[in-house]
């Protein structure tokens, strides 16, 4: 074989080797692309499934809410409320405004008034922030999460100051009466539920519930604390309370008990609870009559 033939043979082998490298690279790229497409599709399917599940849950809850409101069964409504999954991956919020509009179509022009209720009764938790009643904090700024007993929550419920708070919160514009009456009736019903629970189950009365979040502000430490609506709702939704605890634990945030007074004598406690329950029930009936009127 002459020199010219040898050079031609070497050139041909080099071309074949180069083609092989290119083919291997193309195959690898194709496999990588197919894997990426498959992963993306699985993520889309998972996300779509989550969105569909979340949407269906919301639709079902809205339908059940109408029935619950019609029958006056807020206890059943709360049992069916779609709660956030743990660990929390999506922002979740529930509020007094959402409660009173779940089973009722709000009158025209009440959107602003319902929005004002968010500063009065809102529970927020998500992967980035957490808070109560319009005060939210970034998780990395949260220093501590504190709890109160159900009895401690009930101690803070005042029928007189609540009524005044609602009146001061809502400006005198069209729709104010509807929003005020619906909010008042819903909250007094929830209060009666927690008081009744504490009477029926002494152990439930001593159960600790997440009610306060301490976090770093620009200048000083701040607190997001449950109020007239959010405290009782947290007490009535132990699974939601557990989500708050789990999320705090995942982030290394201390969960501790807040200072509070307790009623040690069982008879005195029951008498106090019955008195509280009676006052709440009377206010609730008064609010219902105003709505019916």
pLDDT (tens digit per residue) in 78-91:
888 999 998 999 99
Residue 40 has pLDDT above 60, yes or no: no
Tell me the C-alpha distance between 48 and 74, whole Å. 31
Identify the CA nearest to 286 among candidates 107, 162, 119, 122. Answer: 162
pLDDT at 25: 46
10 vs 247: which has the higher pLDDT: 247
Can you read off the two tokens belonging to residue 125? 């938790």
Q: Is the pTM of this model over 0.85?
A: no
Average pLDDT, the chain: 77
238 and 153 Cβ atoms separated by less than 8 Å:
no
Buried b (16+ CB within 10 A) or exposed e, 214-223: bbeeeeeebb
pLDDT at 287: 63
Beta-carbon contacts of 139 under 8 Å, excluding residues fewer than 6 positions away, are 127, 128, 129, 130, 247, 251, 253
3-class secondary-structure state, position 253: coil
Residue 48 has pLDDT above 50, yes or no: no
255 and 245 Cβ atoms separated by less than 8 Å:
yes
238 vs 282: which has the higher pLDDT: 238
pLDDT at 122: 94
> Parallel, antiparallel, or unpaired: how do β-strands 254-257 and 92-95 relate?
unpaired
pLDDT at 3: 46
Instruction: Match 């071309």 to its residue by tokens.
Output: 15
Tell me the C-alpha distance between 132 and 226, whole Å. 6
pLDDT at 140: 95
Phi, psi of 238 (to 5 degrees): -60, -30
pLDDT in tens, 230-274: 999 999 999 999 999 999 999 999 999 887 666 667 778 888 888
Residue 195 has pLDDT above 60, yes or no: yes
pLDDT at 290: 60
Indicate the pLDDT class of residue 52, thresholds 50, 70 and 90: very low
pLDDT at 59: 42
pLDDT at 214: 96
- CA dist 256 to 38, 115, 126, Å? 45, 32, 21
- CA dist 260 to 155, 209, 274, Å? 9, 13, 20
Tell me the C-alpha distance between 75 and 189, whole Å. 9
């Amino acid at each position: 074989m002459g020199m010219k033939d040898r050079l031609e043979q070497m050139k041909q082998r080099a071309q074949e080797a180069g083609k092989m490298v290119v083919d291997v690279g193309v195959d690898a790229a194709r496999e990588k692309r197919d894997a990426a497409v498959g992963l993306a599709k699985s993520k889309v399917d998972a996300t779509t499934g989550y969105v569909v599940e979340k949407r269906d849950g919301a639709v079902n809850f809205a339908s059940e809410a109408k029935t619950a409101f019609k029958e006056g069964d807020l206890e059943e409504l709360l049992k069916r409320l779609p709660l956030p999954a743990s660990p929390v991956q999506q922002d979740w919020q529930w509020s007094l405004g959402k409660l009173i509009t779940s089973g009722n179509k709000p009158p025209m022009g009440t959107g602003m008034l319902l929005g004002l209720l968010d500063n009065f009764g809102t529970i927020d938790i998500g992967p980035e922030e957490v808070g109560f009643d319009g005060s939210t904090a970034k998780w990395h700024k949260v220093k501590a999460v504190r709890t109160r007993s159900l009895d401690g929550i009930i101690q803070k419920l005042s029928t007189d100051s609540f009524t005044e708070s609602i009146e001061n919160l809502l400006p005198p514009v069209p729709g104010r009466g509807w929003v005020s009456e619906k909010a008042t009736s819903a909250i007094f019903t929830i209060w009666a539920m927690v008081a009744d629970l504490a009477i029926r189950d002494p152990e439930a009365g001593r159960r600790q519930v997440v009610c306060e979040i301490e976090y770093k502000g620009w200048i000083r430490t701040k607190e997001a604390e449950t109020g007239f609506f959010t405290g009782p709702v947290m007490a009535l939704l132990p699974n939601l309370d557990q989500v708050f605890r789990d999320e705090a634990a995942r982030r290394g945030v201390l969960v501790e008990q807040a200072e509070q007074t307790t009623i040690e004598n069982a008879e005195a406690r029951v008498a106090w609870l019955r008195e509280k329950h009676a006052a709440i029930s009377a206010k609730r009936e008064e609010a219902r009559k105003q709505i019916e009127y």
